[in-house]
Amino acid sequence: MKNYYYFLGIQENASGEDIKKVYRKLSLKYHPDKNPGDDYFENRFREVQEAYDILGDPENRRIYDANLGHQQRSYRPTLPPFIKTFSANKIRVQKGEEVIINWQTNNADIVKILPFGLEKAYGERTFKITEFKDGKFQILCHATNSLLNKTVVRAITITETFENKGEEIRSEVEKIFKPAKPTFQNPAGFSGKVQIIFALVFILILILILIRNFNQ
Sequence spans of domains, the chain: 4-74, 82-160, 165-215
Predicted local confidence at residue 30, as pLDDT: 86
- We find that the CATH architecture of domain 4-74 is Orthogonal Bundle (1.10)
Q: What is the pLDDT of residue 176?
A: 57
Looking at every residue in the chain, the average pLDDT score rounds to 82
Lowest average pLDDT, out of 48-57, 63-72, 77-86, 123-132, goes to: 63-72
Rounded CA-CA distance 212/137 in Å is: 25
How does pLDDT run across 154-172, given as a tens digit for each residue?
A: 999 999 998 655 555 555 5
What is the arithmetic mean of pLDDT over 119-141? 91
- For 89-123, the DSSP string reads S-SEE-TT-EEEEEEEEES-SEEEEETTEEE-SEE
Q: Could you tell me which CATH class the domain 82-160 is placed in?
A: mainly beta
Answer whether residue 113 shows pLDDT above 50: yes
